Amino acid sequence: MSKYLLLLSALVLAVPSYAELTTNMGAATKYMFRGVKQSDADITINAGADYVGPYGFYAGAWAYTGSIEDFDTSEANAYGGFAYSLGNMALGLGIIGYERGGDKLDNTEYNVNLAWNAYRLSAYQDEDETYVYKELAANYDIWDEAGIALKAGLLTPEESRELWDYSISVVMAMPSNVDFEVQLTNQQQKGYSLVFGLSQQFDW
């Protein structure tokens, strides 16, 4: 799961009233974006930073690469927005910029997110209004140190047919703020993918 979605899930479920800065780094067997593999590299590495300010403001950046020597396999994201708490519900508004290496397209997305308890409904639209992506997600605790995340997404392009993708992730917390994740994804055109990943968060 991308660091943006992890941050967003935490924000819309519990909007903080204090400032916090965290950084993260990790590695995975693949980088998947909405059910589609983004790099042919056997191992990808990633790093990011997130700032959460008072009253639900957040901003961050995250990047991955499949090769230190060939940044055509890389991607960098910058994002920001606000999350507002409404009792046991929360509303989030945000923007994400994608910078991709090689011949992949760069773009910007705007998003709106509604959360209730463990459930989140999100909608994303690109700046040129060529597609809309809708996502329904849920997060559950399995036991004290592990959780499961379920997600279904629907891509609606302007000039082609709709595409569904699904994922199920199991995340286990380990010592020293390290998480181990196993994710199974499926996309209508691309089929199934299994991803293993490790990530570590640093609190400042």
Domain borders along the chain are 3-203
Question: So what's the pLDDT on residue 66?
Answer: 77
Q: Would you state the structure tokens that stand for residue 115, as one six-digit string?
A: 């959360």
Taking 90 as the threshold, does the pLDDT of residue 151 lie above it?
Answer: yes
24-71 tens-digit pLDDT = 999 999 999 999 988 777 889 999 999 998 888 999 999 998 766 666
Taking 50 as the threshold, does the pLDDT of residue 187 lie above it?
Answer: yes
Tokens 């090689």 identify what position?
A: 102
Rounded to whole angstroms, the Cα distance separating 198 from 40 reads: 19
116-129 tens-digit pLDDT = 989 999 999 999 99
Name which CATH class applies to 3-203: mainly beta
163-175 tens-digit pLDDT = 999 999 999 999 9
Cα distances (Å, whole numbers) of residue 3 to 8, 48, 102, 128: 8, 8, 22, 25
* Cβ atoms 137, 150 nearer than 8 A: yes
**Region of poorest pLDDT, from 15-24, 143-152, 194-203:** 15-24
